[in-house]
Amino acid sequence: MKAVILLSGGLDSSTVLYQAKADGCECYAISFDYQQRHRRELDSAKKIAESGGVAEHHVVNFDLRLWGGSALTDNQIDLPSDRSLAEMSENIPITYVPARNTIFMSFALAYAEALNASRVYIGVNALDYSGYPDCRSDYIQAMQEVYRLGTKQGRQGEAIAIISPLIEMKKTEIIQLGNSLGVPWEETWSCYAGGEKACGVCDSCRLRLAAFQDLGLSDPLPYVQRMG
């Protein structure tokens, strides 16, 4: 059973790759260099693809800086930092990249149909701090209909299934799942800042550190600053 895995190199997508392997899938990874501020994550995506034993790993290149609209694609917009988990949950943050998952999932669909794959795995999470609009269950359900209606496979009754195993999981639960699957956390990357070390203060770092801390575990990544 062939599956395409959307692989950013982060904690969630890495766990999803290892879950797909555990599900018995022959895995094909796809990552995206969209000139994001944190392109450092692509190094981790390559390492995770190798450690996960994928059949192929493609990096698709395009430039979302052309129109910006996000702190991840416009260096003139400051990254939120040192925010509490409560503050993170108040509004959709400036780190939301307009329609990013729709773009990603369109590439993944084309790749999957070319492979005659039966699944696309994505590590979206609706319980995370942000409530990004393209990480919610109703969005995934709508995209599943696009996958059915917009492909030859779908019209022939063999629609490619979107698998989002983490969508209703807490970050602590994702780490526990990853631990059970053997995900090498030291090879993953979550920081938005794009430095040699994780900053420790952006929303993504703080969520990750808090989850490891809640589990009584030490995050193996090097940080400029760790939560107290």
Which region among 34-43, 75-84, 143-152, 168-177 has the lowest average model confidence (pLDDT)?
75-84
192 touches 202 (CB < 8 A)? yes
- Band the pLDDT of 44: cuts 50, 70, 90: very high
Quick one: which H or E segment has residue 29? strand 26-33
What's the whole-number mean pLDDT along residues 27-49? 97
Length of the chain: 228
CA distance 46 to 31: 9
Amino acid, single-letter form, for residue 146: V
In the numeric block, which tokens belong to residue 39?
């392109």
**pLDDT > 70 fraction of the chain, expressed in percent and rounded:** 98
The Cβ of residue 221 has, within 10 Å, a number of other Cβ atoms equal to: 22
Q: Where are the domains of the chain?
A: 2-214
Contacts of 66 (CB under 8 A, 6+ apart): none
CA distance 25 to 35: 30
Residue 228 pLDDT > 60:
no
Residue 106 pLDDT > 80:
yes
The model's pLDDT over 131-181, given as tens digits with 9 standing for 90+, comes to: 789 999 999 999 999 999 999 999 999 999 999 999 999 999 999 999 999
Residue 128 pLDDT > 80:
no
What's the whole-number mean pLDDT along residues 57-74? 96
Q: Is the pTM here over 0.75, yes or no? A: yes
CATH 3.30.460.10: does it fit domain 2-214?
no
